[in-house]
Structure 1
């Protein structure tokens, strides 16, 4: 597993996919590999933040992660066809990272949700406008960079100003996200794990 993590962190493309396939053949679970890759992406994000990596390296790591997802995601059995919840997701303004968001997008879609992907670098106002337009149940905010995470509070404030906060849940996700951000930024949930986020959203829709 460590060799897979190092390959991603050090941007070694050549044998990256073969390492993942070897790990699967050796009996490692897809979710275990996925979680390790998320940790690797968190390290890439840190290197980007301190200037050790630049945008080109961040994009390269993202492409490697997408290649890994093509192998791993079909092996993750996530189905809940009876759920009809509507969700708006995107990466908050100032953040160009889309890997975590894309993982959640795949999981939510395969679980039967109607998901609208706003993409990356999304202004808080756009989250709110789209959620109102499609009568969404949940807004999912992705943020890898610690400098962009606080902007989730702007989404919450705008929902409150428009009288939408009571019926729309807000979940904040990303490798650098901590549970204390729920109180700090007023979101309903703050998670650093895609599966945990999926389970929370499913429970909200079922309860609602």
Structure 2
């Protein structure tokens, strides 16, 4: 147990340090030791929460946040093939991206990774996505969930614009909308009529499963 805890603590530290090379080695070590992949993911997410909080408090700059995200992704690339799902059947369809006028993609990319782990089929729209592109993709793939990320206060209103566009197209009741991003809050989600709010990748995944009534 002590050895397992040491490995998990090191994984958390490597996320904070943004070491995307060393974390590959330790992730493989964790799996070879027999640590459950989901416990490893919890350790990674703990590191991301630390980094996100430091970024919100302006203790670190965006490049350091990006390095942490790269380390998270490097570890997840190794973990994902090792996760055994109850069924290979896809549990839902997710369209996700960062709203227009915002080029930051790290947050929603982490959510996409976690959703894929949980069995969602995902379409990543990237950053600076115009409202109409979200609408087109939701209709094209018949999405169950639409994830809208905003990493700047100036881009947050675009989340509401997309929701309004869904209403205008007459498809708002066909898709659940989850919003997230550093400046976003539950209060904001409620104000703009979103179905859910995810503070981080783990929480967003939990919210998505609850909205679709997935056990």
User: Which of the five TM-score ranges fits, normalised by the shorter chain?
Assistant: 0.7 to 0.9
Shift of 1:70: 2.3
Q: In the TM superposition, what whole-angstrom CA distance separates every residue of 1:3-41 from its partner, at most 9, and x where no partner exists?
A: 655544454566444555667759682132122122144
Q: TM-score, with normalisation over the residues of structure 1? A: 0.74
Structure 2 Cα separation of the partners of residues 20 and 83 of structure 1: 26
Q: What are structure 2's unaligned runs of at least 5 residues?
A: 1-7
- 2:3 corresponding residue in structure 1: none
- Which has the larger share of helix? 2
Q: What are structure 1's unaligned runs of at least 5 residues?
A: none
Say whether residues 1:157 and 2:167 are aligned partners. no
- 1:69 corresponding residue in structure 2: 76
Task: Using the TM superposition, name which of 158-167 and 177-186 deviates more.
Answer: 177-186
Say whether residues 1:36 and 2:36 are aligned partners. no
Whether the aligned pair in 1 keeps the contact of 2:15 and 2:48 (CA below 8 Å) is no
Structure 2 Cα separation of the partners of residues 89 and 31 of structure 1: 21
Say whether residues 1:53 and 2:61 are aligned partners. yes
Structure 2 Cα separation of the partners of residues 3 and 59 of structure 1: 19
Q: CA 1:80–1:200 in structure 2 vs 1: closer, same or farther (change >3 Å)? A: farther
Shift of 1:116: 1.6
Say whether residues 1:101 and 2:108 are aligned partners. yes
Structure 1 Cα separation of the partners of residues 62 and 120 of structure 2: 35
- Total equivalences in the alignment: 204
Q: CA 1:96–1:60 in structure 2 vs 1: closer, same or farther (change >3 Å)? A: farther
1:89 to 68, 73, 96: 96
Q: Please give the root-mean-square deviation of Cα atoms over the aligned residues, in Å.
A: 3.4
Q: TM-score, with normalisation over the residues of structure 2? A: 0.72
Q: CA 1:80–1:5 in structure 2 vs 1: closer, same or farther (change >3 Å)? A: same
- 1:172 corresponding residue in structure 2: 179
Q: In the TM superposition, what whole-angstrom CA distance separates every residue of 1:49-93 from its partner, at most 9, and x where no partner exists?
A: x596355x5543432232122244445555554455332111223
